[in-house]
Amino acid sequence: MAISIALAGKPNSGKSTFFKAATLANVEIANYPFTTIDANHGVGYVRTPCPCRELKLDCGNCRDGARFVPIEMIDVAGLVPDAHKGRGLGNEFLDNLRQAKAIIHVIDASGGTDIEGNPVAVGSHDPLGDIEFLAHEITMWMAGILNRNWERLSRKVNAEGLKIEETIAAQLEGAGITEAHVRTILSRMRLPRDKPQVWTKEQIIELSDMLRVESKPLIIAANKIDIASQENIERLVEKGAIPVSGATEVVLRLADKSGAIKYIPGDADFVESPNLSGPQREALSKIRLLLKKNGGTGIQKCINETVFKLLELIVVYPVEDENRFTDKKGTILPDAFIMKKGSTPKDLAFMIHTDIGKSFLHAVDARTKMRLGEKHELKNGDIVKIVSVK
């Protein structure tokens, strides 16, 4: 499970509720800033159609044809403006973002918390003002690291003949920046690589901002739509936000767990148990209206868009028997691997085991029985048998 997604935003925006909704982990949820002091780690899931339905098989690893593939979710401490200068919990949140491949920025769409995360009357704060500051804080944090040492670093580059890409990546390694990230961004910027001493602070901020976008793509979750005004929701959607109700998803997940309803995360409806009480049915009818209006609670949509659109990942199913689509024990479609778009069968072989990767011969497309070479580009939903000398 190498994919990590961070939930970030100001305190009290509903990050911990989103986290619980995605993972069903027991986390503290309260109406005051800094409920989350240390990052919570849990297992969330990306939803994808399971190939077993198309193959007219029953794999036992999906729910009604919906396959849920595990990813790591990180609920980081709340962020306040000027955190990069040490305000609030300071730079602790940034350390927790280091391993994340992408960020879901959770915003309180109801306007019930001010920019610091303090509770205020619902609707009295404009949530659109919360959109920019997270990206700004991460950018300024990176720029601060570079600017603090820039004079010394630029002298070192000139005196020792070091590559500027290598030097910047080493400084920002703690932010999850690689040399490849730096090389990509410098190719887009017209900065003299051999004269870093002439780069201005503004150019370093621009460089940091582009590195943030490249290394930490971000999606906006407009949370608390169950209490937000329609006007706020529509304005946030215009800015690209996904409408979300973490609280509603928690209720549905727990009700499904108890057997009161049948609910598959990501669905826009659910099936009620016949023995529910009148008040239970009434409460569920209100939830059903919210689901139909918004196409679901938005939690699964946020995770899926982060994995499949922002990060451009695919799901591939390795099998050992390409005719029965099973492993050696006869389990149908036992594993689902999340891989980067453009990955090859040889990449998959290394993911399964280093020895299998090293001894890779070829692969077989289990659907078509066609032989696949090591440079073949895998597609989302492929079922693949790896042939190796091991």
Q: Are residues 245 and 339 in the same domain?
A: no
pLDDT band at 85 (very low <50, low <70, confident <90, very high): low
The percent of the chain in helix, strand and coil, each rounded to the nearest 5, is 40, 20, 40
Q: Is there a domain that residue 168 lies in?
A: no
pLDDT in tens, 104-142: 999 999 999 988 888 899 988 999 989 988 888 889 888
Q: Amino acid letter at 296?
A: G
Residue 159 lies in a domain: no
Name the nearest CA neighbour of 308 among 380, 387, 223. 380
pLDDT per residue as tens digits for the range 302-351 = 999 999 999 999 999 999 999 999 999 999 999 999 999 999 999 999 99
Give 194-237 pLDDT, tens digit per residue.
888 889 999 999 999 999 999 989 999 999 999 999 999 999 99
Residues 269 and 361 in one domain: no
244 with 331, same domain?
A: no
Residues 227 and 368 occupy one common structural domain: no
Mean pLDDT of the region 184-196: 88
Q: Considering its fold, how many domains does the chain have in total?
A: 2
pLDDT recorded at residue 367: 97
- pLDDT at position 34 is 38
Asked which of 279, 305, 331 is the last residue of a domain, the reply is 305
Do residue 113 and residue 227 come from a single domain?
yes
Q: Which of 266, 287, 305 is the last residue of a domain?
A: 305
pTM of the full structure: 0.89
Domain that holds residue 322: 314-388
Q: What's the first-to-final CA gap in the chain, in angstroms?
A: 24
Examine residue 142 and state whether it is found in any structural domain, yes or no. no
| Helices assigned H by DSSP within 216-277 | 230-238, 246-258
Residue 279 within any structural domain of the chain: yes
Mean pLDDT of 58-79: 91
Per-residue pLDDT, 91: 57
Contact (Cβ atoms closer than 8 angstroms) between residue 173 and residue 95: no
Say if 187 falls within a structural domain.
no
